[in-house]
Homo-oligomer: A and B are copies of this chain.
Amino acid sequence: MPKIQRLSTTDPDFNTQLDALLAWDSVSDSAVRQRVAEIIEQVRQRGDAALCDYTSRFDGWQPTSAAALELPLERLRQALRAIPAAQREALDLAAARIRAYAERQRLQSWEYIEADGTLLGQKITPLDRVGLYVPGGKAAYPSSVLMNAVPAKVAGVAELIMVVPTPRGELNELVLAAAAIAGVDRVFALGGAQAIAALAYGTETVPAVDKVVGPGNIYVATAKRAVFGQVGIDMVAGPSEILILCDGQTDPDWIAMDLFSQAEHDEDAQSILVSWDAAYLERVLASIERLLPGMERADTIATSLTSRGALILARDQDDATRVANRIAPEHLELSVADPQALAAKIRHAGAIFMGRHTAEALGDYCAGPNHVLPTSRTARFSSPLGVYDFQKRSSLIMASPAGAANLAATASKLARGEGLTAHARSAELRGDPG
């Protein structure tokens, strides 16, 4: 049975204990950084030849030519035809719901005209070309393909390029089917730091993109950090986490299973329950002990709960809310009688699952909002992946002659105050409205 850490907010050391529980060091070690830097440099210098070499070395198959790295779109459509009908239907339904929610996120251009005729505004444009990294092997999730690709297409990204490693040539049919449903434009059988380098800088075969999104292992994450600036990137994610606030009235089996659903991701995943009902924490613990042996991924769940899980006793709901705002969790379940009142007091969370029926797992697949969320307390300053991550803004300024004269008077004074006299003169030249 897992030995889950027990904390109480009344403990004088509580904040220190909580910080220790949450601590996560995402820094890559210098050996990884060095290897990634070499791979990026090789891809920049040698292009396709480097991609073929690394694919042979790391993925265990030898492309006959660089062109062989590309998977034709017909291969995606073939996967879509081949998967079971129930899976196809579920993917279609999830994609439709993700799309419907994403469409509400689309930013719109706006402008307004001032009394003197000067126009100000903000113009919205999509990114031209985006790269989507999809892991191979055990962490290959079709749901992630939908969650990353659908918002990009809703934003109007003209070309969405997916890269996915194919170890020993192995392909995941559900991943390919999801890419077909989401409208991915091109797919390359590439993985690791070399795939990120190819997307960032381009090779003879792989076109350079403007932004790279999607999850990956430590090499992928390190490469994304290294190319940031050359291209945009999404957040570099830490382990997935859930925080559940419960008033003690939800079936404890439900809450135990929600904790498991987070813990089954991997050993570093974090599941925390906070309640202000001490007896309820014991009931959930009993559910955990009873249900765990029947779980397919019991070992992973047990390790995760033991090393990073916790049951926390709070004084009352307000006290629990303070803990939630301090943690700024990726996923926050409010399993209470009036979840809307409680959600109004939450300042930081990636996604808020409100009410006893809203299992976090519903959001992972098909509720509609994105499952790519800020981890490791970064919800203090960042947001779920969304359509807005694939759009950008340009400011619009069109001064009328009268407006230019008005603005020039102010701009000139401030520019001279900063010693920037060419700025001042440039403004002053437009200063005569006649």
Which residues of chain A in 371-426 are interfacial with respect to chain B, using CB atoms and an 8 Å cutoff?
Answer: 373-374, 376, 378-384, 386, 392-401, 403-404, 407-408, 410-411, 413-415, 417-426
A365 engages B264 (CB within 8 Å)? no
Chain A 14-55 interface 0/1 with B at a Cβ cutoff of 8 Å (1 = within)? 000000000000100000000000000000000000000000
Which applies to chain A's interface (DSSP): helix, strand, loop or mixed? Answer: mixed
Given contacts A422-B260, A422-B261, A423-B264, contact A392 B383 (CB under 8 A): yes
Chain A 117-159 interface 0/1 with B at a Cβ cutoff of 8 Å (1 = within)? 0111011010110000000001001110000000000000000
A26 engages B229 (CB within 8 Å)? yes
Q: Is A210 an interface residue (CB 8 A)?
A: yes
Which residues of chain A in 342-371 are interfacial with respect to chain B, using CB atoms and an 8 Å cutoff?
Answer: 343, 346-355, 357-370
Task: Report the interface size for chain A: residues with CB under 8 A from the other chain.
Answer: 116
- Residue in B229, B251, B397 whose beta carbon sits within 8 Å of that of A353 in the complex: B397
In the assembled complex, the CB of A253 is this many whole angstroms from the nearest CB of chain B, namely 7
Kindly list chain B residues whose C-beta atoms are within 8 Å of the C-beta of A363. Answer: 395, 397
Q: CB-nearest residue of chain B relative to A129? A: B380
In the assembled complex, the CB of A363 is this many whole angstroms from the nearest CB of chain B, namely 5
B384 engages A426 (CB within 8 Å)? no
Chain A 278-316 interface 0/1 with B at a Cβ cutoff of 8 Å (1 = within)? 000000000000000001110001000000000000000
Q: How far is the CA of A112 from the CA of B97 in the complex (A)?
A: 13
Q: Is A69 an interface residue (CB 8 A)?
A: no
Q: Is A110 an interface residue (CB 8 A)?
A: yes
Kindly list chain B residues whose C-beta atoms are within 8 Å of the C-beta of A104. Answer: 110, 112, 122
Q: Is A218 an interface residue (CB 8 A)?
A: no
Kindly list chain B residues whose C-beta atoms are within 8 Å of the C-beta of A91. Answer: 414
Q: CB-nearest residue of chain B relative to A101? A: B120
A254 engages B383 (CB within 8 Å)? no
Q: How far is the CA of A91 from the CA of B417 in the complex (A)?
A: 10
Q: Is A258 an interface residue (CB 8 A)?
A: yes
Chain A residues packing against B (C-beta within 8 Å): 26, 86-87, 89-91, 93-94, 101, 104-105, 110, 112, 118-120, 122-123, 125, 127-128, 138, 141-143, 174, 210-211, 229, 231-232, 236, 251, 253-254, 257-258, 260-261, 263-265, 295-297, 301, 339-340, 343, 346-355, 357-370, 373-374, 376, 378-384, 386, 392-401, 403-404, 407-408, 410-411, 413-415, 417-427, 429-430
18 extra A-B contacts, CB within 8 A, seeds A260-B425, A362-B430? A87-B414, A87-B417, A91-B414, A94-B414, A174-B417, A174-B418, A232-B381, A261-B426, A348-B394, A352-B396, A354-B396, A359-B408, A360-B426, A361-B411, A361-B424, A361-B427, A362-B404, A367-B399
